Structure formats: structure tokens, C-alpha cells
Structure 1
């Protein structure tokens, strides 16, 4: 079995909300048919592929890639961290309910990963509990940052603690809806910016003591952990020689890195080999990041190209890690 734990959708409920009141949702839909795209007021534009909204298109893409089961997560712009109060709750609920409808259309092949309004922590806890109770979700997806706020901030700790108590897997994904300063050219906002955002989030959770305070939290990161796994030696050295880095956590950054789970979306087999060797196959799961253009269209080929893996390790990455997180 092959399980894709990083596969995006944009439920029809969210699309309908844009079409009904674009000013309220701060987005609009341009074009018709295959040329449709979502344009966010904050500047992010992307095609509205059928695979985002249609279950049959998602299943067809899975068949093409050799994927048996996909864990569907809403595309990050649906997080709507800009929204206040009741609107934030409304948008997150309609996305989660729409996602649940997609899963119910093919329950043998699809699983759900909800979103929660992190900018309003009490509401985030309420929605976390609701998607677990009502939809049976075993995972939620949140941003690596919340409109510039770090996940280590005290106001977010109750949310992460409640996820720990519920045994819910928390998947960190870069969240942005516009260009980042200095990365405007050459699509660097995504190519460099996304891995950088992930690396910063991991380092902050390490050095802030957040992971020490939440020893049982199941937490994962997109895009192979960004840049951080490949510079972990620098963090370990810095933790030894700089007082700032061990002021709030005495734990080794390498030990804390192995607390995370990582997807396989790094494209380069040697990079994936290094990641598996560093954290273990039981901390890595298959991912595609579909259907974004920066997704891996041939994830099984990438995995098969990693030299030196045992069949047990390949099976772990292809499915067993995901099954443990899904509690299946």
C-alpha cells in the first residue's frame, strides 16, 4: 500500500463562499472552466485545478501516481488567518465540513486532515475537538506561522496541548498569500521562502522549550523539513556554544529534530536518503503536495531511487508511518 500524507484540496464549500461573497472572503475567482484561478486580495494567485475540488479527479491523479490512499488537507490559503472572530470560525468550519464530504465520497481511499482558526486559540480548540468528534479526523494542518506570529507564543500553547491530549497529529505547512520581501523574483517566495519558513518554525519550537513542554505532541513538517535537517549540525554546535540557544531548552536539537515527522517532498533521492538516515524511516512519510506545480508527480520513483534502503524501510515510508499517525 502507498499512502500520500500531503495532498491538497479546496472543498466546493470554500469555492462557493468565494463566489457568493468575494469581498467577505477576500478572494475572487477569475476565468472559466480549466482556466479558473483563485486570486486572493493579499496577492496569492493559483489555478483552481479540478483535482482541488473534484473527488474523481483526485482519485484519477492518485491512480496515475500509484497512490492507494490520500490524506486530504485544505490548501494553505484556506486557513484564512486574516479573518476575525465569527468569520474565521465560519470559514474553517465550512472548509472542514466540505473536506469531510469529499472523504465520505470515497472512504476506502481518502482520509481527512482538518484546519483550525489558530488566530483565535479558544475557537481553534473548539474546532479541533469538533473535527475529531464529528468527522473522526486524526490530524490537523496549521501554518508554520500565524500571520507573522510564532507558534511558540504562549497564546498558542493551549491549542498544541489539546492536540497532544487528543492524540491528534499536527502537520505544519508554510502559510502565505503574497510575496515575501526580498524573494519576489524567480518564484523564490516558494522555492526558498517555504523551506525557510519551515526551518524557522522547527528551530523556534526547539529553542523556545515548546517541544520540551509537550513531550507527547505528534508533530510533522512539509517539504522534508525545509532547510533545517541539512543544517542540524550547525544548530547542535550553536546549542553548545551560544547561551541564547540553550536558555530555554537543555535538549539537544538533534534529539528534538527526531521528534518531528517529515514528508518525502524533496525531489532529490540523495536528499531523501540523508533525511531517512538522519531521523529514521519511521519518521518519514510519502507526500506529493498535489496538485500544486511544486508537487512531486512521481513520488514512488523518488522513493525507489533512494539507494541502500531495505524493503522494510521503503514500506515504512510508503505506508507504515502514515498508518501509525492515522491510528489504523
Structure 2
């Protein structure tokens, strides 16, 4: 298998076979893709309706054609953010995780030249989540998990989640945090602010909870990858460090400066322009930035390879961001 020059680490999928199995084996969870017309359908989870859900979300051949156009040699598949299902009862959450994990693992087995897989776990039941994470990596060949940015409103510093973080560090799991159930909903209901502002805001809260909750200090081996350029984390890094030095509240669970923990976070490239991406690579370092697209959503970025190639950074750094970091962090080398 040829070594990939580009790996898109942020991409979502829900095939029709997976959807059918969910409806057959987990009838307590409503899920449908309806009103399909051309390249779009409506995704309906009961709690959420997403109009104009792109065909590439369920059609693998369409996905492969789009990957060719975007020059993505390989893609890391994860579930849809709409199907993390943390608000469901634990047994249903586990069943949904297992079905989706097995489906992604099957896609990877069928096309190992194009796909790599991440699983999902029922974070509302941390002990079950840790067991399913072990199964993902030991039995299914997945490289880690995608998580929502909160667990039905609980943040990641919740002590109950410790089994998940401990297992993830032990296994070397790649943890991809994607915003779900974003904060400040009422104030963000207009103008699509729920996505424009809510998504990066909730990613920021998730990452800051891991930092100030001492999770990354206790588990320095965790590999935590943040969506959409890391939300506001890269731009507020020094504010957090300054604040820890000034405010006793920030020391409640973190006895040392947050600097080291912040420097462990990883970021995708989805910033929709060269100027913020150049800042991110310069500030975080090329070793901590990985190519992402948010395929197949309309807020995704599909010119990421060209933007990265055009940045005024060394060729070696471009190669790291486009594929090298993913190979190292996902254990592909």
C-alpha cells in the first residue's frame, strides 16, 4: 500500500446499512435519512433534523469521488455528531456505539487503502465506555474514538469520566473531540450562530475542562484532537496561563500552570483561510496540526490541501500537517 501524502482526519459517515441496522436492533432510537433528492437528503434523529444532509454522508462511492477531487488519499472515518446519543439510557447508548463501531470497522477492512476508523463510546456510562474503547482498539482495529464536546451537559472534568481517560491513555487512543449540544443555545439561535459561534465555543469549553480539571496533567499521554482549529484555544492560550497565575478559582483542580497541558492539545486545519492557519501552525507548531475537512457537511473545508500547500512554511512542516502527524499519532508508521 502506497504511503499516503494526505490524510483527512476529520470526516463523518452513516451508511444506509448502518442506519438500517440501528432501526432494526435499537428501535428505541429514531434515525432516518428521508426526502432524498439528488445529492441531498434530510437527516432526522427525532431530537434533531438536519436539512440538506449531503449524499457523501451515506454513499461511499460519492465519498471516494469527492476525496479524489479534494486530493485526500485517505480519510479517518468517525460517526456523525448527531448520533453520539449521550442523552439516551446507557444500554441503548452502548448498542448504538457497537453498531456504528462495527460498521466503521467493516468499511476500513473493505478499503484499507482509503479509510482509517475511529469509534464511539457511551460516555454517559463511563465504565461501559472504557470497555467499548478497549474493544474498538483490540478487536475492531479502530484507532481511537470521536467524542462529543460534553456528555449531555456534563463537562470533561467530571470525575466519573476518569475510567475513559485512563483507558485512552493506556491504549494510546486518539481522542477526537467534536462539538455537540453546544452552550448558549438561546442566544445563538439566529443567523446559524449555533454553528458559527457555538461549535468553536463548545470545543473550547471541552478542552479547557480537560486542562483546568487536571485531566491532561494526570494523563499526559492522552492524544486529544480538537475540531475547527481548536475553537478559541490557540488564540486564548496566554490568557488561560495568565489567569491561572492570578485567580485561585483556576487552581481548584490544577496545582501547576496549564501551560504544559495546553501544549499537548492537537488541532485540525478547518479555519477556512490561510491567515488563521498560518497563525495556528506558527503558534502550536507543525507537529500539533492535522489536516481535516468536516466531510460531508456544508461548513466543511475542502480546499485544505491547497491552502496548506500555499502556506509560507517549510516543506517538511507541510508534509507533517498533510499526513505525517496522522501517521505518527494513529500508529500507521
> Same fold judged by TM-score > 0.5?
yes
Match of residue 138, structure 1, among 127, 140, 143: 143
1:203 CA drift (Å): 1.3
Partners of 1:18 and 1:28 within 8 A in 2: no
Please identify, of 176-185 and 119-128, the stretch whose mean Cα deviation from structure 2 is larger. Answer: 176-185
The counterpart of 2:59, out of the listed 54, 58, 67, is 54
Structure 2 CA distance for aligned equivalents of residues 55 and 254 of structure 1: 42
2:293 maps to which residue?
A: 288
The 1:26–1:209 alpha-carbon spacing in structure 2 relative to 1, beyond 3 Å, is same
Q: Is 2:183–2:201's contact at 8 Å kept on the other side of the alignment?
A: no
Among 13, 20, 23, the alignment partner of 1:16 is 20
Q: Which position in structure 2 is the counterpart of 1:207? A: 212
Is 1:175 paired with 2:180? yes
Distance in 2, Cα, partners of 1:67 & 1:265: 14
Q: How many residues align?
A: 327
Answering whether residue 68 of structure 2 is matched by residue 63 of structure 1, we say: yes
1:314 to 314, 318, 321: 318
> Of 19, 30, 36, which residue of structure 2 is paired with 1:32?
36
Helix, strand or coil at the partner of 2:251? coil
Note if contact 1:140-1:170 (Cα within 8 Å) is conserved in structure 2.
yes
Aligned equivalents of 1:177 and 1:20: distance in 2?
A: 30
1:7 equivalent to 2:11? Answer yes
Structure 1 distance, partners of 2:152, 2:51, is: 20
Structure 1 pair 110–29 and aligned structure 2 pair: CA distance change class (3 A): closer
Q: 1:267 to 1:224 in 2, by over 3 A?
A: same
Per-residue Cα deviation, 1:117-158 (whole angstroms, up to 9, x for no partner)? 111112111211111122111121111101100111011011
What is the RMSD of the two structures over their aligned residues, measured on CA atoms?
1.9
Aligned mates of 1:273, 1:96 — CA distance in 2: 35
- 1:35-80: CA deviation from partner (whole Å, max 9, x where unpaired): 4211232234243422112221211111000111111111111111
Whether 2:218 is the aligned partner of 1:186: answer no
Would the aligned equivalents of 1:44 and 1:178 in 2 still touch at CA under 8 Å? Answer: no
Q: Give the distance between the partners of 1:251 and 1:13, measured in 2 at CA.
A: 49
SS of residue matched to 1:96? helix
**Helix, strand or coil: the match of 1:245?**
helix
Seen in structure 2, the aligned counterparts of structure 1 residues 49 and 178 have a Cα distance that, compared at 3 Å, is: farther
**Cα distance, 1:110 vs structure 2:** 0.6
**Where does structure 1 lack aligned partners over 5 or more consecutive residues?**
none
Post-superposition offset of 1:20: 5.0
Contact 1:239-1:246 at 8 Å conserved across structures = yes
Q: Which residue of 2 aligns with 1:122?
A: 127
Gaps in structure 2 of 5+ consecutive residues: none
TM-score by length of 1: 0.94
Q: Does 1:106 align with 2:126?
A: no
Partner in structure 2 of residue 92 of structure 1: 97
1:275 paired to 2:280? yes
Cα 1:135/1:61, change in 2 over 3 Å: same
Alpha-carbon distance between aligned partners in 2 of 1:29 and 1:144, rounded to the nearest angstrom: 24
Q: How many angstroms apart in 1 are the aligned matches of 2:282 and 2:184?
A: 34
The answer on 1:264 being equivalent to 2:249 is no
4+ residue segments displaced more than 6 Å: none
Q: Which residue of 1 aligns with 2:88?
A: 83
- Of stretches 169-178 and 309-318 in structure 1, the one that deviates more from structure 2 is 169-178
